[in-house]
């Protein structure tokens, strides 16, 4: 038992170092309480994953790299509230909470809404909110039914770019931002007339290059 406990403690410490160092590379600072909440997040993913398909990624280190650090790449590029028309963020098709839960964890100054139309996944998000002690709203409905006017609208490849950009623009307040998380190889379609480029960045969290795009709505 003691050897098992020591191994679990060593694994937890290694993952904590990976979280903190990886977040720092994205310009995000994680405190001890943040890391503790993210550890609990991995536990809940494993528990719920035994009975439903939350994510195709398995193993805590892979979850940290491919989900947590990837989400934090976006978090590190979110502007101050003073630069937004509204201190609100919508994550469309949040699934298991990426990137919206990480946004709520690291940016408590934003009012975060997670839209997830699949009821079981929405139930998982509600459990996360309770277990992690975070503040965010969960909408178990199609995002197209939501009232527009969000300061930031994000998605982690919920839709292909040609569909995502006009869809997100319709939900974003004037002067707000639309973010898209995609791959460097995905072609960028012609922009809707109300969107103009704000950010285009290639990044790597140890799993190959990814691309973060952002657009300002007129």
Q: Domain ranges for the chain, please list them.
A: 2-217
Indicate if the pLDDT at residue 20 is higher than 90: yes
- pLDDT, residue 8, reads 60
CA distance linking residue 202 with residue 200, whole number of Å: 7
Digit-coded pLDDT (tens) for 157-211: 789 999 999 999 999 999 999 999 999 999 999 999 999 999 999 999 988 999 9
Provide the whole-model pTM. 0.94
pLDDT score recorded for residue 1: 45
Tokens encoding 205: 């969290």
Q: What is the DSSP letter of 190?
A: P
For 53, the token pair is 């398909």
**pLDDT tens, residue by residue, 134-143:** 999 999 999 9
Query: From CA 51, how far away is CA 165, in angstroms rounded?
Result: 34
DSSP-derived letter for residue 158 is S
Which helix (H) or strand (E) segment holds residue 75: the answer is helix 70-75
2-217: CATH topology: Rossmann fold (3.40.50)
For the purposes of burial, counting CB atoms within 10 Å of the CB of 186, is it exposed (0-12), middle (13-18) or buried (19 or more)?
A: middle
For residue 3, what pLDDT is reported?
Answer: 46
């Amino acid at each position: 038992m003691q050897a098992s406990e020591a191994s679990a403690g060593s694994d937890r410490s290694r993952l904590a170092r990976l979280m903190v160092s990886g977040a720092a590379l994205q310009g995000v600072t994680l405190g001890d309480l943040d890391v503790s909440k993210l550890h609990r997040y991995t536990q809940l993913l494993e528990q719920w994953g035994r009975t439903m398909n939350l994510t195709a990624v398995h193993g805590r280190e892979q979850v940290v790299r491919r989900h947590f650090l990837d989400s934090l790449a976006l978090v590190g590029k979110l502007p101050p509230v003073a630069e937004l028309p509204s201190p609100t963020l919508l994550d469309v098709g949040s699934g298991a909470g990426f990137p919206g839960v990480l946004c709520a964890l690291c940016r408590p100054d934003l009012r975060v809404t997670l839209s997830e139309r699949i009821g079981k996944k929405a139930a998982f998000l509600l459990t996360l909110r309770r277990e992690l002690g975070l503040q965010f709203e969960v909408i178990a409905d199609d995002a197209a039914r939501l009232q527009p006017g969000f300061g930031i609208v994000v998605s982690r490849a919920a839709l292909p770019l040609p569909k995502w950009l006009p869809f997100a623009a319709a939900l974003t307040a004037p002067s707000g931002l639309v973010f898209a998380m995609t791959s460097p190889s995905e072609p960028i379609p012609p922009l809707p007339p109300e969107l103009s480029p704000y950010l285009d960045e290639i990044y790597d969290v140890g799993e190959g290059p990814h691309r973060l795009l952002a657009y300002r709505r007129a």
